[in-house]
Structure formats: structure tokens, C-alpha cells
Structure 1
Amino acid sequence: MSFRLRFGSLGSRLLPGYGTLVLAITLVGIGVSITRPYLSLFGANVVHMSAAELGVFMCVNGVGGILASTWLGRLSDLRVAKKFIMLVSAACSALGYGVFLVLHSYLPLLIVSTVLLGLGSSVFPQLFAYARETASRVPGVDATFATSSLRSFFSLAWVIGPLLGSYLLQVCHFSGLFAATALLFAAVFAIVVWRIERRPPAGIQGSRPIKSFAMLRDGHIVTACLSYVAVYTASSMNGLYMPLFVTKELHGSDRVVGSVVALSAGLEIPIILGLGVLSVRIGKRPLLLFGSVCGAMYYVGAWLAQKPWEMLALQLLCATFIAISVSIGMSYMQDFMPGTPGAATALYSNTNNLGQMLGSLLGGAIAQWAGYRDVYLLCTALAAISWLLLLRGKRFKAEETKALHAALSSPDAATQQRQRAVNGD
């Protein structure tokens, strides 16, 4: 009881409804992480996809997620309440994973899963957009620390999820795996129904939605997006091909692979929790630059590794790189568009989706032609590119960030800011 009271007190200092957001984000994380590592096995063993068909399947699903989350992100800022977007997205996720239980034919599964999981991809960014919007409405709340701490629970889910998924796969096979995932997103739907506040959209009622990718007219936003795409392309290649590198090149066991994934996710949690405080003192862009350096060092270390234990030792660098990218990166993007948190978070999420698509294609080509070890050379180059791009990026001063937050709390100033966003200025 005392722990519950202390946690509730901490949550109230961070955000109203913090505990609800923690629960929803954790369930989303577990739902994704118990299934995603085994989708390739399902495709190969149940649907009998070839390697090329699997690549096309993942790529088309990624495109669906980008298009749907961009569209829903704009609507959530200007026309439709975020609660409704989250409800639709959670329901589509539950139905989308349920489809894997009944459709085992390639083309129908490709079409239906792309539509449903594409629409379902918005639940994660919309939860964080809702959190950012909540923070802007409450004086004295540190939005960066709040969103960073929330992101740590998503990392915690990735410690739990793969182990739970492995158990379900052994006991209940793929039917149990996808049924559990569908139930988890149904639980998220229920949480949104009963616990998430319905608010009018942040934008101007009756105004036109922001034109597709109009925010990319800002050179600083373009630079940040390109940097994130480079980061997530490298991260995707590492996630996809690290297990094969460890088992085939370093002759490690499957248990070592699981230990590497769990250790990295576990290390991310304390790092993410500390980043909110550091970002106030140091700034977000310097931390992002440091993260790219850690990423480059990790990839070089992996390229040089000769023993499985070396990959375990390198996970501190990997965890630091990922923690900075996913927590500070999201908040940095939201700073560019304080009047449209939904569009900003969707744009950030789409750099992740695009990076995963490019990572699967580029990593597969490099692994096929040059070997798993040389995948890490390309990852190193991408980390260096992200660092160079961030050097050209915008550094938000503390005074500027406070002014943006103050503008949001002023109806007249907020209206002007949102009108500029509508006009694409």
C-alpha cells in the first residue's frame, strides 16, 4: 500500500493520469514484443513464405504503418480527439493480430494485416502525444522527464515480452501467441475507454488538416528526420541480424542471443530514467550526439568481436545509444512542433518505421553478399551519418523551450502557433 501511494505521488508530480499511461504503454510494449521476434518464423513455417516474400510482407506492412500513422496523427491535432484515435488504433491492432489466427494464405494476409496493423500502429505514438499534450497543460511538469520515464516502461516490456512469447510459443504454439497479443490490445482498448480523458483536438476547429509532410519544409526538421532514419536503419539491422551473427559467426547459443536482448533492454531502463534530468542540464542535441557516438562504438566493437561474451560486454554502449535515441529523440522532435504533438510524434514514429524497412532490405543484401559481420560496417557508417546530421541540427535553449510551453498555455498565442502549423509556416 505504501509503495502504491509513493508511486501515485510520483505520478501526480509528473502527469495527471501517469499510472494509466504507464499501464497502457507497458501493455502495448508487451503486445508488440511477444510477437515481433517470431513473425518471421510464422511466415516461413506456417504461411510458407520465401525469404523474398517475407521481405515484401514486412516492407508493405511498414508502408501501411507510415501512411496510417501520418494521417491519424494530423487528424488527432486538428479534427479528431486523441481518445477516439487510440480506440480505433487499439481495436485495429487486436483485430490485426487476430487475423493471423485464421488467415494463412499469403496475399489475403498481406492485404488485411497491412490495413489493420497499419491503422493499429498509431496507438503507441498517440499515447505519447497525449502525454506531451497533458504536460503542456500542467504548470511545472517536465515534459521531457515525463515522456522519458514513460518510455522506460516500454523498454521494461521488451525485457518481459520475448521471454513470455517464447513460453507461449512452446506451450500454445502460434495460436496462443497471437491470441495473447490480441487480448493485450483489447485490454489497451478498455483502458482508453475507461481511463483516458476525451479532449477536443489541439488544433483549430473547422480548419484544414496540415498538408501531408508540410512540416518537412523546415530544414531543421528534415535534418532531424534524416538523422533518425539513419539511427533506426542501423538499429533495425542490428536487431534482425545480431542473432544470426552471434550463432553463425561467433558460434554462440540461442541462450546467449536471449541474454544479449534482455541485457540491452534491462540496461535501457535506468539510462532512460536519468536522461530527463540530464537533458535539462546539458540539452537534448548534445545527448543525441553522444548517443550516436555510443552507437558507432558499439557497431565497431561488434564488427571486431570474436567471442560471444564480447557482445554481452558491448550492450552498455548499445543500451545507451537506443535509450537516448528513443527517449530524447521523441521529445526533441516534439519541440519543433509544440502546437501539434500528434503530428510530431507520428513523424518521429515514421522515421522508425522507415528505418526498419530500409534496415531489413539493406541488411539482407549485405548479409547475403558479404556476410553478417559486414552488416556492422554499414551500421557504423549510419551512426556516423546521424552524428553529422545532428551537428547541423537546431539546439533548443532552455529559455526557448519555456517560451514554447508558455505559448501553449496562452489561448491567443497557442491559436497563432496552431494557425502557423496549419498554413505550413
Structure 2
Amino acid sequence: MSSRRLSIIFATFLLVSFLTGIAGALQAPTLSLFLTNEVKVRPLWVGLFYTVNALGGIVISFLLANYSDKKGDRRKLLFFCTLMAIGNSLIFAYSRDYLVLISVGVLLAAIGNASMPQLFALAREYADRSAHEVVMFSSMMRATLSLAWVLGPPISFTLALNYGFTLMYLCAAGVFIFSALMVWFFLPSVGRIEQPVDKVVVHVSAWKNRDVRLLFFASLLMWTCNIMYIIDMPLYITSDLGLPEGLAGLLMGAAAGLEIPVMLIAGYLVKRTGKRRLMLCAAVFGILFYLGLVLFQFKAALMILQLFNAIFIGIIAGIGMLYFQDLMPGRAGSATTLFTNSISTGAILAGVIQGTIVQNFGHYQVYWMALALAVGALVLMTRVKNV
């Protein structure tokens, strides 16, 4: 295959990662405001929505991952997931019925969200086949995803607050349509060697592996902290701190922007330091971030703390997935999905914990809980072997 053809394919992977990230970054940051202000439900029901959404995502993504690892065409599956994401955006654009959103909306979102692990699994397989540097290419894809989250949250809040949620979700649908076209016309289908017996053995032994379990639960706690923050922060800074709603978008965008160099630097350092040491570093910075949220409540401090947040998320987002893949050789789809399901399971816990705490104690106590969970993640990470 010519170098020009390779360059076009790798550029397409980066572009699809960026587009999928933009569409997600248009929807996710304002979801709690959407449910509170448009659908008009209480905090407990907001948390429940995140929980059900995450639970549906776990079930669907595991089913799709097993199918794609065994016999599915990952590119066609990725295209199908993107179509479902378009449908989900349209549901949210025109429905304000909580039952419709938490049933049909969640089902479409679960299938649509599986596009990201499928995209990264396809990229890993293609990079392996083309002898491309896997770690740096994965870091570049993660960096484009972070770039999307630099632009997405401020745009999301601008559209939602000034022009309404309907237009915001329609814009997300338009981005998903463009992404689906890029997947269909430019991304390759990567054939996989069928090894049924070996696959069963690897699949069974992977979860029995102590290091896989420890990494999963450490990743779970880190993402629970992060998602609690994403759910609660837009409401906390407006209701408790009296700061403008638009600041939430700026905080998310600033963190995502800082994540880009963090991911690239982590990708460069991983061969020297190892994945375990970088993940331990991430957990420490996560502790510092949530400690800062507990201690400081003014705008300048919140902005400065985004550097700690960026190091925390930048490393676990860029290195965590590769850590799972290295601990589960031969099952890129399942390993990537296990990583993303640690995020989804984190969302389940985050939704329940955030909704319960806010309903009974208020927003501030959410960050004490996040701090405690970050400490727990650090303890678990110290017990995972280096690879």
C-alpha cells in the first residue's frame, strides 16, 4: 500500500475521532442542565438517567465487542453505531418526555456510544497491520478527541443557552452524519485471523487475571470521579457559587485543551517510564484536583485547577486503553470495550452517588466523595503490574 494511501487512511481516523468527539462534546456537557431546565426533573432523576444510560451502554458495547472480535466487519459496525447516534440526537432535539428519553433515547445512545471503542479498536488493528507506531498513533487520536472537547463544550453552552437545546442537538446530528460518511467511504475493513479456541482461552483468562481486575476497578474509580464532576459542576457553579452558566463550558474546554499536550507527552514518555508509573501520576494529580475543588470556590482557582484535571484525565484517557490492550493481547475490541465500560460503569456510580448526595446534602459534598474515590484509585493502581 502506498504511503499516500496510508496517510489518507490515518488522517481519516483522526478526522472521524475529532468529529465523533465534537458531536459528543456538544451533547454531554449540557445534559444535566437539559434534564433540569427543559425536562424539569429533580436531581435524583438526573442521576438516575446517567445511571440507566451507562448501564445500557455497558450491555450493548459488550455484545457488539464480542461480535466484532469474532466475525463482524468492524467498519460496518462502526457505521451502524454512528447512524444510531444520529437517531439519538434527533430524539433529544424534539422530545421532552423523560420516559421517551430514558428508554428509546438511552437505547440509541448505547449503540451510538459504542462507535468510539470500535473506532479505536479498528485503528489499533490497522496500525498493527501497517507496522505503524501504535502508542503514538493512539495518543494522536486521543489528542484529536481532546481538541474536540476544547471546542465542543463552549459551543454547546452557547447554542443551548442562546439558541435552545433543539438547535444544539440538530447540530450534533449533522456532525454525526458527516462522520458516518467518512467512515463509509474512507475507513478500511481490516480482516482478522480466526482463532476460535485461542480467543475463548484469552477471553476467559483475561478477567481472571488479577492485574486486569485491579486496572478495571482503578479506572472505574477514576472515571467515577470525573463523571461526578461533569454532571455536578454546571449545576454547582450556578446554584451554589453564583457564577455564570457559560463558565462551565470554559472550564471543560480549558481542561480538554490542556489534555492535548498531556496525551502527546504521555505517549512519548510511556516507553521510558512504563504505563503503571504514568497511571500512578494521573491518580496523584486527580487527588490534587479534587482537593482543590474542596478548598477553593472562586473562578480563578477553578481555572487553574483545570491543569491538574487535564493531567489526570489526559493520562488515563490516553494510556489506560493501551494498558488494557497490553494485558489482553489478541482481543483489541474486548480490551478497548473493557476500558470504555470502566467509564460507563463509572457513570452508573457517578449518577447514583451525585444524585443521592445532592438530593440529601447539596453539591459541595460531591467533591469530598470524589476526593475519597481518587485516593482509592491510587491505592489500587499501586498493585497493578507494569507492562
Question: 2:157 and 2:246 mapped to 1: Cα distance?
Answer: 12
Matches within 5 A, 1:251-270: 251-270=242-261
Partner of 2:328: 337
Partner of 1:404: none
1:94-133 deviations in Å (ceiling 9; x for gaps): 1121122344333233221122111111111111111111
Aligned length: 385
Matches within 5 A, 1:69-88: 69-88=61-80
Which moves more between the two structures, 208-217 or 321-330?
A: 208-217
Deviation of residue 41 (structure 1)? 3.2
Partner of 2:382: 391
1:283-302 deviations in Å (ceiling 9; x for gaps): 11100001100111111122
Partner of 2:134: 143
Computed over aligned residues only, the root mean square deviation of the Cα atoms, in angstroms, reads 2.4
Q: Which amino acid aligns with 2:120?
A: F
Question: 2:247 and 2:88 mapped to 1: Cα distance?
Answer: 32
Deviation of residue 378 (structure 1)? 1.6
Which moves more between the two structures, 167-176 or 279-288?
A: 167-176
Deviation of residue 195 (structure 1)? 0.6
* Structure 2: 5+ residue stretches without partners: none
Deviation of residue 352 (structure 1)? 0.3
Contact 1:35 1:181 in 2 (8 A): yes
Deviation of residue 250 (structure 1)? 4.0
Alignment counterpart, residue 233 of structure 1, candidates 187, 211, 224: 224
Q: Which amino acid aligns with 2:109?
A: L
Matches within 5 A, 1:45-84: 45-84=37-76
Contact 2:48 2:352 in 1 (8 A): no
Answer yes or no: is 1:372 the counterpart of 2:382.
no
Contact 1:78 1:202 in 2 (8 A): no
Matches within 5 A, 1:303-322: 303-322=294-313
Q: Which amino acid aligns with 1:105?
A: D
Question: 2:258 and 2:26 mapped to 1: Cα distance?
Answer: 19
Answer yes or no: is 1:273 the counterpart of 2:264.
yes
Contact 1:80 1:200 in 2 (8 A): no
SS in 1 for 2:164: helix
Which moves more between the two structures, 127-136 or 50-59?
A: 50-59
Contact 1:241 1:372 in 2 (8 A): yes
1:197-224 deviations in Å (ceiling 9; x for gaps): 1123454379987898763221111110
Q: 1:42 to 1:252 in 2, by over 3 A?
A: closer
Question: 1:155 and 1:192 mapped to 2: Cα distance?
Answer: 20
Contact 1:202 1:340 in 2 (8 A): no
* Structure 1: 5+ residue stretches without partners: 1-7, 397-425
Q: Which amino acid aligns with 2:33?
A: L
Q: Which amino acid aligns with 1:349?
A: T
Contact 1:202 1:339 in 2 (8 A): no
SS in 2 for 1:49: coil
Partner of 1:183: 174
Answer yes or no: is 1:323 the counterpart of 2:323.
no
Contact 1:74 1:210 in 2 (8 A): no
Partner of 2:33: 41
Partner of 1:167: 158
Partner of 2:81: 89
Question: 2:59 and 2:205 mapped to 1: Cα distance?
Answer: 14
Q: 1:394 to 1:173 in 2, by over 3 A?
A: same
Q: Which amino acid aligns with 1:64?
A: G
Partner of 1:418: none
Contact 1:292 1:386 in 2 (8 A): yes
Contact 2:94 2:166 in 1 (8 A): no
Contact 1:250 1:308 in 2 (8 A): no
Percent identity over the alignment is 31
Deviation of residue 233 (structure 1)? 0.6
